[in-house]
Structure 1
Amino acid sequence: MVHEILLGLAGLLGSVPLAIVVATLLLRAGLLPLSIRAYRAERVRAKLAPQLAEIRERHGHEPAVLAEKTTALMREAGSGPFAGLVPMLAQAPFIWLLYREFTNGDMRGHSLFGFDLTQRLIGHPGLLAGWLIVAALVGIAAWNVRQLPAGSPVYVRVLSFATVAFAAFVPVAAGIYLVTTGLWTAVERFVFRQRSVLPV
């Protein structure tokens, strides 16, 4: 199904890399309600930061009680501790399908800057398209981390750089997806935070 969608879009747009970008943008637009929920959860966490710190101070030595109290406080405020992960998890099936699409050889012969979309940086160290993808992902991750509110959990900061860690191991086509979705996330975060469109 992914193959047919990408080829159909490529036929309309005249480019497989552009088809990947458009398909990614359509997916992210469909996930916008989940993203809004995640940003609201982030704002709730920031608002509850003093209470969460107090719970950690009181129950830091009791992990089960700490988790229970933290979850209860978040639920009381209409959120949950893992609400920010929902958009990432919702994308996982598409990432898996796209990865399969570009590793089974069906799209061999399509290229970006003259480099085959099925090639990987790990196997081709001179792959300019691969290095451009890594550089773009580092820039996007740094921008995302700078936009995080003070006191954001460490795992959120680390997850911002997760795509950079495995960009060298995925085909160029999957890298195009990662750059597009990462850029969407950065712009989304900027809009939702700077314009304060998400009241808690």
Structure 2
Amino acid sequence: MVHHVLLALAGLLGSVPAAIVAATILLRAALLPLSVRGYRAERIRAKLAPELAGLRERHKHEPVVLAEKTTAVMREAGSGPFAGLLPMLAQAPFIWVVYREFTNGGMHGYSVLGADLTQRLYSRPALLAGWLIVAALTAIAVWNVRQLPAESPAFVRVLSFGTVAFAAFVPVAAGIYLVTTGLWTAAERWYFRHRR
């Protein structure tokens, strides 16, 4: 089914890479309500940071009590500890289905910048499209790290570069998806952080 949807979009837009971009944008637009909830939760967590730090200090030797009190404080404020994960979790089934489409040969014969959409950078080190994808993902990751709040944990900053390492091992088609969703996320973060 994904194959037929991508080909239908390609017929409208004139290329399979453009169809991948369009399908990704449509998915992210559909997930926007979940993203809004995630950003709202982030704002609430930032506002509650001093209170949560006090709880951590008072209950540092009582992990169960700390978890209960933290959850209660966040729930009272209208949020939860995992609200920011909803968009990522909601995308997961789509990513799996699309990744299977990109790896089962359905994209073979379609290309961008002379690279077949099924090719991978690790097996073709001279692949220009692959290097452009890695460069774009690196720029997006740097941008995203700069947009993170100063108090963000180090592992969150490192995770921002996960897609860069991953990009060399996925087909070019999947790289197009990763760049498109990464740009969407960067623009979304910028908008919600600068909105009053």
TM-score bucket of the superposed structures, by smaller chain:
over 0.9
Query: Which runs of 5 or more residues in structure 2 are unaligned?
Result: none
CA, structure 1 residues 192+142, in 2 after alignment: closer, same or farther (shift >3 Å)?
same
Mapped to 2, the partners of 1:40 and 1:97 lie a distance apart of: 29
Match of 2:117 in 1: 117
Match of 2:143 in 1: 143
How far the C-alpha of 1:154 sits from its partner, in A, is: 4.2
Mapped to 2, the partners of 1:14 and 1:37 lie a distance apart of: 35
Match of 1:67 in 2: 67
Mapped to 2, the partners of 1:169 and 1:129 lie a distance apart of: 13
Post-superposition CA distance 1:63-107 (Å, at most 9, x none): 322222222211111101111111011111111111100110121
Q: Structure 1 stretches (4+) deviating beyond 6 angstroms?
A: none
Match of 1:2 in 2: 2
Post-superposition CA distance 1:167-191 (Å, at most 9, x none): 1111110110010001001111111
Q: Is the 8 A contact 2:105 2:118 kept in 1?
A: yes
Q: Is the 8 A contact 2:107 2:173 kept in 1?
A: no
Q: Is the 8 A contact 1:46 1:152 kept in 2?
A: no
Tell me the SS of whatever aligns to 1:75: helix
Aligned letter for 1:92? A
Post-superposition CA distance 1:90-145 (Å, at most 9, x none): 11111111110011012101111000111111211111111111111111111112
Query: Which runs of 5 or more residues in structure 1 are unaligned?
Result: none
Aligned letter for 1:175? G
- Tell whether 2:168 aligns with 1:168: yes
Mapped to 1, the partners of 2:82 and 2:158 lie a distance apart of: 15
Tell me the SS of whatever aligns to 2:81: coil
Aligned letter for 1:13? L
Match of 1:188 in 2: 188
Mapped to 1, the partners of 2:146 and 2:34 lie a distance apart of: 22
Tell me the SS of whatever aligns to 1:60: coil
Match of 2:96 in 1: 96
Aligned letter for 1:166? F
Aligned letter for 1:33? P
Aligned residues: 196
Match of 2:23 in 1: 23
Q: Which moved more, 1:29-38 or 1:69-78?
A: 69-78
How far the C-alpha of 1:152 sits from its partner, in A, is: 2.8
Once superposed, what is the RMSD of the aligned Cα atoms?
A: 1.3
Q: Which moved more, 1:17-26 or 1:135-144?
A: 135-144
Match of 1:132 in 2: 132
